[in-house]
Structure 1
Amino acid sequence: MQRVQTRNTLQIADRTHICSAILDCVFFQIRISFHDFLSAGHLIASHHTFNFSWIIYHNQITEILKVGIASMSDEVLEAHSSVTDTDMNTNVENKSVPSIRATIASTRKALVLSTNSVHELLVCPVCTSSMYPPIHQCPNGHTLCSNCKVRVQNRCPTCRHELGNIRCLALEKVAESLELPCRYNGLGCHDILPYYSNLKHEQNCRFRPYNCPYAGSECSVTGDIPTLVAHLKDDHKVDTHDGCTFNHRYVKSNPQEVENATWMLTVFNCFGRQFCLHFEAFLSGMAPVYMAFLRFLGDEDEANKFSYSLEVGGNGRKLTWQGTPRSIRDSHRKVRDSQDGLIIQRNLALYFSGGDRQELKVRVTGRIWKLQ
């Protein structure tokens, strides 16, 4: 028993020394690259400023990683200290495998905690967003992002010292070695990416929240589809209907006055998914037009599995449109500007209305179907 514990202790000590040696090598290589960068004249800053900021971030990151290494070592010792020679010879499969699994889980947890702590150094103290190059710092080592540097009028928000044009290359270099989970991991994304790739990924992550599709006003609400459907019903008072066909009548008492206006008519529950029908009046150049189109509450790849048709007519004439619903990832203005829908010129709309053309009466019918 004593012999096994001694061997485990030595293994842990060796692992700690190895981790420390690797850490020293990493810092050495980063420091060499920084000095090469300075020597090439890419940074207008003194070596004294560089050495000062390097000491700050070297110490902070070293302490963070030491905590991670210590946690790993403690877990390894705890997991293996109870294993005897007899256990190792006769019960390896029964006891070693659970111990190894527990060790792996604990090690992963320690590494995640260490990475998260390092990531905290990369959060801008002004806007609380992740910082990306160029990362600026004051002579006292306080950092902030390039966008906030303009907002604070070149004064450090922490110590009020003048910022100047000093870049924090130490922190930028450390960020290159980080791998972080997507910020939408709570919504289902399990990707882990390099720090500098994370921003682009999150901008296009399929698990990112959707913007409210209501077109009558600028709404800042975001969420998943069930949240947005409830929001549309409760806050925007939008009608919802079950079914894949629709028949809606639009009436305007003074059709001569066409100003930019947007209406969302209805949300339809069809094939277990949700669609919203828009009807808009706007000026296309100098000509007033009306436009109807359908949007899909979901991503584009799902929207492409459906098709829809729209029809408007009167006085023995009709106008039809068939297309693919647009994802609400595209704003209603983007869809409108692309004219991807049923376009009705005002004169034609008045002709469909019949009578003395003093009142606009347009009936829009349509259906949605699923592609095979």
Structure 2
Amino acid sequence: MDLDNIECVSSSDGMEEDEIHSHHHSEFSSTKHRNGATNILGPNGITPATSVHELLECPVCTNSMYPPIHQCHNGHTLCSTCKTRVHNRCPTCRQELGDIRCLALEKVAESLELPCKYYSLGCPEIFPYYSKLKHETVCNFRPYSCPYAGSECSVVGDIPFLVAHLRDDHKVDMHTGCTFNHRYVKSNPREVENATWMLTVFHCFGQYFCLHFEAFQLGMAPVYMAFLRFMGDENDARNYSYSLEVGANGRKLIWEGTPRSVRDSHRKVRDSHDGLIIQRNMALFFSGGDRKELKLRVTGRIWKEQNQENGVCIPNICS
């Protein structure tokens, strides 16, 4: 799809249109990553002896080792996953590994209680060694991945960092307010290729939301899809709802739902069809005229469930 032929017109609460042109970037400039690595601190805030952690670090993959922990005849250790990768040769002294278990180191690991590696990002939890890794995969303080869609971006960080990254590096439009009005224009709607944009980041209720719009093939049928993602965790996303509406010529389609957390990838949300999906024939009907040009107007709003009054967003808390 020729992205240059797509025009986006956005407005905030007043619903007045201002022209904004969407951008597509296939290349990204270098970006400073928010470092997820942290110094491990004990419950009293004192750094434990690093030698203990070095003993439990696999020299091949540098991950923490869990049973079975293997060792060579000279006492060098490595994890069971890497044992097969080094073809049964010790990566330190090149001696044959055999099948020797380092039971003493396994017992040392069992006795340890360590803070979550996201301690410096705010996680206060302390875990037994064998529970720590499982927790870290779901820790609410772990960094977020960049939610930009349409290309692979490996940047991670907290929400304020990613908002600045989206604005400065991906040139995503930023709007304040809980209502929006977009118009999508395509000169040749008969050509539908997989294309995706994140057109806008909205700031309302003190939170950030990403509005996505894309065109893709659903089976053999070309469709257009719009959906909202919440820049935060799933539990917080459930506090909000949003609606999307598209229509013309006396017809309209309305979608209401809960924004998905950016913890869920863009592809996962799209493939679950959790959003407003418009078939091409319906999109052309909404466009009117001779159907030679696609003109879709998508309006929407975001509201907080506990502050909803007769379905209207309270104006003095929408910023």
Same fold (TM over 0.5): yes
Q: 1:170 to 1:269 in 2, by over 3 A?
A: same
Secondary structure of the 1:347 match is helix
Match of 1:55 in 2: none
1:117 to 37, 40, 51: 51
Cα drift, residue 154 of structure 1: 2.9
Match of 1:166 in 2: 100
More helix by share: 1
Secondary structure of the 2:96 match is coil
Instruction: After TM superposition, list the pairs within 5 Å mapping 1:1-372 onto structure 2.
Output: 113-114=48-49, 116-372=50-306
CA deviation vs aligned residue, 1:141-162 (integer Å, no higher than 9, x gap): 2112233333333322111123
How many angstroms apart in 2 are the aligned matches of 1:143 and 1:335?
Answer: 42
How many angstroms apart in 1 are the aligned matches of 2:99 and 2:193?
Answer: 49
Normalised by the length of structure 1, the TM-score is 0.68
How many angstroms apart in 1 are the aligned matches of 2:54 and 2:211?
Answer: 44
How many angstroms apart in 1 are the aligned matches of 2:231 and 2:142?
Answer: 13
Cα drift, residue 289 of structure 1: 1.3
Normalised by the length of structure 2, the TM-score is 0.79
Secondary structure of the 1:249 match is strand
How many angstroms apart in 2 are the aligned matches of 1:187 and 1:266?
Answer: 27
More strand by share: 2
Secondary structure of the 2:100 match is coil
Secondary structure of the 2:66 match is coil
Secondary structure of the 1:163 match is coil
CA deviation vs aligned residue, 1:47-87 (integer Å, no higher than 9, x gap): xxxxxxxxxxxxxxxxxxxxxxxxxxxxxxxxxxxxxxxxx
Secondary structure of the 1:228 match is helix
Cα drift, residue 365 of structure 1: 0.6
CA deviation vs aligned residue, 1:89-125 (integer Å, no higher than 9, x gap): xxxxxxxxxxxxxxxxx99577x524x4322210111
CA deviation vs aligned residue, 1:119-176 (integer Å, no higher than 9, x gap): 2210111222211223222222211223333333332211112323333222222211
RMSD (CA atoms): 1.9
Question: Which ranges of structure 2 fall in alignment gaps of 5 or more residues?
Answer: 1-41, 307-319
2:245–2:298 CA contact under 8 A, matched in 1: yes
How many angstroms apart in 2 are the aligned matches of 1:149 and 1:314?
Answer: 64
Secondary structure of the 1:226 match is helix
Instruction: Write the letter of the residue equivalent to 1:180.
Output: L
- Looking at CA atoms only, which structure, 1 or 2, has the larger radius of gyration? 1
Secondary structure of the 2:124 match is coil
Indicate the structure whose relative CO is greater, using CA pairs within 8 Å and at least 6 residues apart.
2
Instruction: Write the letter of the residue equivalent to 2:48.
Output: L
Larger deviation, residues 136-145 vs 360-369:
136-145
Instruction: Give the number of aligned pairs.
Output: 265
